Amino acid sequence: MAVARTTFMSNTQIIWAAVAVVALVGALLVGLALARRARHRTAILQQRFGSEYDRARAQYGSRAERVLAERVRHVAGFHVRDLSDAERERFVSAWTSIQAQFVDDPRSAVGRANDLIKEVMRARGYSADDAFERRAADLSVDHPDVVEHYRAAHVLAQSEEPIDTEDLRQAVVHYRVIFEDLLAPAASRPPPVALSPAQKPA
């Protein structure tokens, strides 16, 4: 009787040990899958955003990837399109006028450059009426390599301190970089790396 009880207890212990091992292996496999998915998501975001990824990491820390994925989701709701040839010519003409104005009235020319960027954004399908940081975040999704120029121009243009002509000229140079990138057809830029549905934030 005692021997039978001992055998029964040993079998029960073996079963529970096996269950524990299976559960541990399952948890380990799930953990490895999640880690692999996280690494894949990181690689995609780094490829898509370039130096903007590093900036987001510095600004948001561990929240950076969630913030960048949210930007992608937000911009996916827009109907972003290329400009027509007529629109492009009209905007180039407006830019030429701004450059000519800079000679006599640099400060006003910078203000007009900022307004023109918003007008081009609106024509492309972006929301140009949001606060600046939201506009810059939206542009970083499709224009990550030049969005820092937009931020730099904004800092110079919005400065409440006296600003000399050279700084105003630099602001116009920054605006020109983002302006030219916005005018370029999508076919002339590398296609953005898309997040899969599983990688997009809920």
Place 13 in a pLDDT band, splitting at 50, 70 and 90.
Answer: confident
Residue 40 has pLDDT above 80, yes or no: no
User: Where residue 44 falls among pLDDT bands split at 50, 70, 90?
Assistant: confident
- Average pLDDT score, the chain: 84
The tens digit of pLDDT for each residue in 146-155 reads 999 999 999 9
Q: How many helices (H) and strands (E) does the chain have?
A: 8, 0
What distances in angstroms separate CA 45 from CA 99, 115, 199, one per listed residue? 36, 30, 10
Tokens coding 190: 């590398």
Higher pLDDT: 4 or 125? It is 125
Better pLDDT: 149 or 21: 149
Residues sharing a CB contact under 8 Å with residue 199, sequence separation 6 or more, in sequence order: 37, 40, 41, 44, 69
Tens of pLDDT along 112-121?
A: 999 999 999 9
**Each residue of 57-96: pLDDT tens digit?**
999 999 999 999 999 999 999 999 999 999 999 999 999 9
Would you list the DSSP string of 88-146? HHHHHHHHHHHHHHHHH-HHHHHHHHHHHHHHHHHHHT---SS-HHHHHHHHHHH-TTT
